[in-house]
Structure 1
Amino acid sequence: MRGDLPQGALAGLRVLDLSRVLAGPWAGQLLADLGADIVKIERPGAGDDTRTWGPPWLRDEDGEATSESAYYLSANRNKRSVTIDIGTPEGQSLVKRLAANADVVLENFKVGGLAQYGLDYLSLSALNPRLIYCSITGFGQTGPYASRAGYDFLIQGMGGLMSLTGRPDGEEGAGPIKVGVALTDVMTGLYATVAVQAALAHRERTGAGQHIDLALFDVQIACLANQAANYLVGGTASARMGNAHPNIVPYQDFPTADGYMIIAVGNDGQFMRLCEALGRPEWGSDQRFATNPQRVTYRDELIALIRGVTICRATGEWIELMEHAGVPCGPINTLDQVFADPQVHARSMRIDMEHPMAGTVPLVANPIRMSGTPVRYERPPPMLGEHTQEVLDQWLAVSPTEFAELRAKKIV
């Protein structure tokens, strides 16, 4: 929150954020970190659903739990909260006036859900033809599933990710497993950010806004990456492989004398160095293992041999040996170990922002490092309705008298 930093790359961009939970708010937070003015529209008295998704709760300076959940805090930094009841004609009118002054609208209502309020793309673009309107839904605006609700867990299953995640059949604990964070939501937020900036570039050339139709289902399938290509090219659906890689060997976890470590060999040269570090240089010249395609073919034999060696030393000893040999290797850290890691400290991946209820709030930093327009941390995740009067004054010149009337009618 330093005042001597240059403006963010997206300074001057106005974004009206009608989204809630994670995918939309993630996009909004990223745009806000880059300098955009994000106005988060929330329901009076309730707000974003994630405000109640606790514990844990942020604690105040006396150690008492506040009403701010950790989940909500993770995705709403650098925004301003405005409470408006969009179920009323007066509330709808306010949002329309805000949209007429906005560059971007983010929303994640069900398909057609905002049309009843006159807040859909066709209605708002008629007021503001330069508006970029980004709709995030579970399955998109078209297709047989368009009307369905979509949640990250559901999409991880339907989109194939869970078929690839988990222990193989026949092993203890076998079965499909979801990723430990709502990864599809996060990836959708990232795609939304890219799409908004692409639409802004197009508008800069043509003056025209547009509608962005973004589906969690589509994003999940797109992010299957090499696994999708393996199926499309090879014709066989990959099975769960635990922590192993379908195309690279050895590239997985291995047991040590005191836990586990990851070895991630990406080429034949690294494999030769691994063999030296393990004290088994002869494996490097073994024709079963000399090239990656051969190692994939003889995966089971090689993995058993490596496991028989790695179990003999502690994780820290192996990591030191592997780093000295130039072999990619690392521990499987718990979150307390992550945030105690010296690299995490060196990169300032934890930040602490001033907060009106808690004194300070700990957050994860934005990973983007820009030399000319660095990320700024201007505002902590806002309290519900904290900026309603401020935004209505700045964006719409709503007078104190008019604001008092709106407040009296419980419109804001």
Structure 2
Amino acid sequence: MPELPVVVVGAGPQGLAAAAHLTERGLDVVVVERGAAAGSAVSEWGHVRLFSAWSELTDAAARRLLEPTGWEAPASGYPTGAEWVNEYLTPLAETLGDRVRYGTTVTGIARHGRDKVIDEGRKNQPFVVHTRDQDGREDRVLARAVIDASGTWSLPNPAGAGGFPAVGENAAARRMSYRIPDDVSEFAGAHVVVIGAGHSATHTVLRLSELARRGPGTRVTWLLRRGTTANVFGGGAGDELPERAALGSRARKVIEAGLVDVVTGFRISEFRQDDTLTIRSEDGREVSDVAHVFALTGFRPDTSILRELRIDLDTTLDAVAGIASEIDPNLHSCGSVSATGARELTQPEEDFFIVGSKSYGRAPTFLALTGFEQVRSVVAHLAGDAEAAARNELTLPETGVCGGAGGFDADGSGCCGAPSVLQIGSRPVSVG
């Protein structure tokens, strides 16, 4: 099927990088993007500054495609999401031109004339990418291969500890947010709760701590499901991404200053609301008088469009099975994960690949650098360049964090013996 294009789902950083590699190798490509512009998901967190430097946020093939247009790679610094879009993703999409189709939602991917059950002749049939535009018109695009780089942004995890919304969580929707906030001034003088232990939660805690510093009566409570804060503040001096290390360091300082209260081992079972919210944990503790909740507990992949394809996902992480053991946060893992390429990302459905953050499923350790290496290798494979596909051209920076999910249920320090950090804060926020 050499006359058919490779279809890339998503015009984010990895999708556009895949398109650049395909273009460089002389392969036809169609990128379908649900949003109205390139990097539409990134634009939604455009106010957030990345902890990766510019040198780690642009793909090599994309740079080679852009440079003849007069574009110059930003030399240094740490961009915001908006700057990443404006100074890199938008120029790259403009250079790719009509290869990118905006306002186009993928509703399903299948083999031509074959549902998931049919074996006969399956590998000889092209893919059919079902789409719907903004006016509701449906269409189909035939493809020789498909690269799913649609990410996980559209499906945040709920606040409920068991993976489903807690009792009352949906009813409390107007007091719940699942994204990093920009302007938090409306919460001055109120009690605000942040749920989650990752970088998004840390960003939010820092933003709210500034409000608490300026606004009398503002209270910020940080709820952690784990029984310890041992890994919450990152790897410190051992982290090879300095801004990532600084993020954790700043969080530790605002907590020590009494601007934020931390409650550990708090797994949410229920939200009750009257004039304010009361949050109840599985063990009966409560946090009350809450004006707003930022639930930043990660994301999960939407695989509904893939239901007629034969794919192999890890049963724990919803990640591509071939990389799951490298990225599983439950396993003992010191430092960073390895780079992954076409071999690890191969699916039972030949010439279909899941890349980018979606390939990581629910795992939280994805970096843009990882995605750029993934698409380089996958496109080399599709071009028949086995040597380049097998080659590893990336060394990822160490995180400085040692240990998996140790300490989830106990007050212990996890599998690597990192010191446990006790609850810090000036005000009690829960009652038995």
Q: Which has the higher helix share?
A: 1
Q: Which has the larger radius of gyration?
A: 1
Q: Which has the higher contact order (CA 8 A, sep 6+)?
A: 1
Could you state the TM-score of these two structures normalised by the residue count of structure 1? 0.26
Could you state the TM-score of these two structures normalised by the residue count of structure 2? 0.25
